[in-house]
Each structure stands twice: as C-alpha cells, then as structure tokens.
Chains A and B, each alone.
Chain A
Amino acid sequence: MLQLQYFLILAAALFCIGIYGLITSRNAVRVLMSIELMLNAVNLNLMGFSNYIDPAEIKGQVFTIFVIAIAAAEAAVGLAIVLAIYRNRDTVDMEQFNLLKW
C-alpha cells in the first residue's frame, strides 16, 4: 500500500536537488530549470496531501493547477529576462551578472 510518507520523501528529494542546482549552476537557463524542479516538488506535496488527507474536496489539486499556471508565467518572464541579459552582457554566466553587486 502506498503511504503518504513516500510521496513526501520523494518531494523532499526533488526539492533538495532543485536547491543544489539553483545555487551551484553557472548557466542562467539551468537556474530556471532548477526553479521548475522546486515548483514541481511543491506540487507533489500538494497533490499528496490532497489525495490522502482531503480526498472528498480536492482543494490541493486546485492549488496545484494555480501553481502550474503561475509557473508557466514565471518561465516566460524569466526566460525573457535571461534573453535581455544575454543581449546586454553577451554571456549567460551567473558570476558575471554583477551589475548590482556592492
């Protein structure tokens, strides 16, 4: 029998992989991919709780659909920003985006 804990541990693993990629990757597009991984981990948490704790009124699934919609908007704006920075600085290295650095 599948337990709620399996899904929560899987979501935690995915979230931690996303954080690792977010901090260590140098390519700006890969940073956006890591953010998508983290959003998917959060979605998995919401779906797990919706199925095991609230199966009559599946409000977690409604929340998941909102998160999917906002993630699509975030990906579009984020990639447009990456494109604008690439035109401006001629690189996608995160270490060279230091315009606002102290």
Chain B
Amino acid sequence: MQIAEGVQLVTFAILSILLVGAALGVVLFANIVYSAFLLGGVFISMAGIYILLNADFVSAAQILVYVGAVNVLILFAIMLVNKREDFKPLKNGWIRQGSTAVVCGGLFALLSAVSIVTPWSISTVSPLASSVVPIAKHFFTDFLLPFELASILLLMSMVGAIILARRDFLPDNLGATSTQDSLTLPERPRELAGK
C-alpha cells in the first residue's frame, strides 16, 4: 500500500463511520426504499475498506456483484411487492426488540473482547502489489473444483429463481394456445390462498 499511514487511518475512520451509519439506516428506517439505497452505501464503503486491505480485485468484484446485481435485484423486488401496509403492532413487541438489542450488544462485546485479547500471529511478509494473478492461480489450481461447482450453483439458482417467481402454468389450455406466439408462456394469475 503506497498511502501514508495517517491517511490510511483517517480513510478507515471515515469509511467505518459511513459503513456503520448506513447499516443502522438499513435496519432502522421505516421506508424500505431508503433502506435499499443505504444498502448500496454499505456495499460501496465495504469496497473502499477492501482497497485499504490491499485487495483490488475483490473490491471491484464487490462493486460489480453487490451494487450492480444484488442491490438492483432488491430494488426490483421492492417494486414488485410494493404494498403500502401498516403492520399491526405485536403484543409485547418491545420485549422482542429489547431482548434482541441486549443479545446483540452482548455478542458485540464478546466478539470485540475476543479479537482484542487474542494474540494474533501477524505475518511480516509485505503484501503483494496486485492480487489478480495470485487469485487466478488459486482458481485454476487448488480451488478448481469449487470454482466449477460455483458456476453450476449459479446456473441452478438462476433456473430455480425463474421457476419460483413465475406464475402458474396452465395445462388444460395448452392445445388452444397454438395460435398464440410460441415465445410467450401460457400462464394465469394465481388465486390467493387466504381469501
């Protein structure tokens, strides 16, 4: 890393404040569209922290995959399920929120104490100039099988997501649809189970 250490510290402080603030906003905002855009802020500041950790390739992949794909997917899902509804307040809902806050605070204290107390064996090797070539070597030598399995997993999840999100297929109407354009899928809106 070519940046001076003071600059690194200030950058880390700014990025971590942005990260924690945006994450709290994701959880606490009432409007879910604000939450989705703040989630993009979380992902971008996380990419900045990855650059501080000498990981240029992973930082670029973070922006491409999370901001470009996952965040846009979440925005589309919000758009598809946009129903303005006021949730009925739960009986004794504050007990759940309070106890969850206590447990999360305790977990945070525990994890911080462990990470401060443990004597980590910090390596003194200077970090690599670019991480792209070593990552590619790992992918095509010792991590080849997981790499190929990840591609199969992505294909399976894509097919599964399409099957799950598609509306019902209408089999009894199949013969009549031959006049229809062959590229459109015959489907009908599903009845609501609760009605």
Contact = CB atoms under 8 A, between A and B. Distances in A.
Interface residues on A, range: 35 or more
Interface in B135-152: 135, 138-139, 143, 146, 150
Contact of B73 (A14, A26, A48, A76): A76
B104 A20 contact: yes
Contact of B153 (A7, A70, A87, A92): A70
A21 B27 contact: yes
Contact of B120 (A53, A59, A92): A53
Contacts of A25: 27
Contact of A17 (B20, B66, B103): B20
Interface residues of B, number: 89
Contact of B62 (A29, A34, A68, A70): A68
B46 A40 contact: yes
B122 A52 contact: yes
B165 interface: yes
Given A10-B19, A64-B58, A83-B164, A53 B122 contact: yes
A20 B193 CA distance: 31
B27 A34 contact: yes
A40 B127 contact: no
A29 B85 contact: no
Contact of B150 (A9, A43, A66): A66
Interface string B99-115: 01101110110011001
A51 to B, nearest CB: 4
Contacts of A84: 164-165
Contact of B26 (A21, A48, A86, A89): A21
B54 A55 contact: yes
B46 A44 contact: yes
B36 to A, nearest CB: 7
Contact of B87 (A8, A82, A93): A93
A9 B55 contact: no
28 contacts: A5-B116, A7-B49, A10-B20, A15-B111, A17-B20, A17-B23, A20-B104, A21-B26, A24-B96, A25-B27, A27-B32, A34-B26, A56-B128, A64-B55, A72-B69, A75-B70, A75-B73, A76-B158, A79-B77, A79-B165, A84-B164, A88-B192, A88-B193, A90-B194, A92-B85, A93-B85, A95-B87, A95-B90
